[in-house]
C-alpha cells in the first residue's frame, strides 16, 4: 500500500525500506508477519507462500494451536503473525 496522505515517496517512517509483509522459512518453521494496520488505509491481507515440498500436509499454528491444511491458501490478516511448525 502507499504511504499515508501528505507524505513523500520515501515513506512515513523516514525510510523507503519498510515492508508490509515479512515471510521466513527457518528449519521446521514457516513465519508470516503482516505489519499493515487493522483499521486504517493500509490494511491488506497477504497469503503465506508455502514451500512446494510442504503443500500436501498439515502444520501446527503455534499461536492458535490449530492444524492448518497447507494445500489451501494460508491467509495472514492485517496486524497478525502466523508461525507454523512444519515438523519433520
Average pLDDT of adjacent 10-residue blocks, the chain of 88 residues = 56 59 93 88 89 93 95 94 92
Quote the pLDDT of residue 49: 94
| Whole-structure pTM value | 0.75
Quote the pLDDT of residue 85: 97
Average pLDDT over the chain, rounded to whole? 84
- The beta-strand segments (E) located in 1-88 are 21-26, 29-34, 46-48, 58-61, 67-69, 74-76, 81-85
Quote the pLDDT of residue 38: 83
Quote the pLDDT of residue 11: 46
Reference 48, options 63, 31, 36, 64; nearest CA is 31
Check: CB of residue 36 under 8 Å from CB of residue 45: no
**DSSP three-state, residue 36:** coil
Amino acid at each position: 500500500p502507499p504511504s499515508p496522505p501528505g507524505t513523500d515517496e520515501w515513506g512515513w517512517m523516514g525510510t523507503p525500506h519498510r515492508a508490509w509483509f515479512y515471510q521466513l522459512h527457518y528449519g521446521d518453521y514457516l513465519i508470516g508477519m503482516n505489519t499493515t494496520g487493522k483499521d486504517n488505509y493500509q490494511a491488506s491481507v497477504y497469503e503465506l507462500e508455502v514451500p512446494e515440498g510442504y503443500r500436501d500436509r498439515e502444520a501446527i499454528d503455534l499461536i492458535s494451536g490449530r492444524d492448518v491444511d497447507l494445500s489451501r491458501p494460508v491467509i495472514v490478516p492485517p496486524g497478525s503473525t502466523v508461525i507454523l511448525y512444519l515438523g519433520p
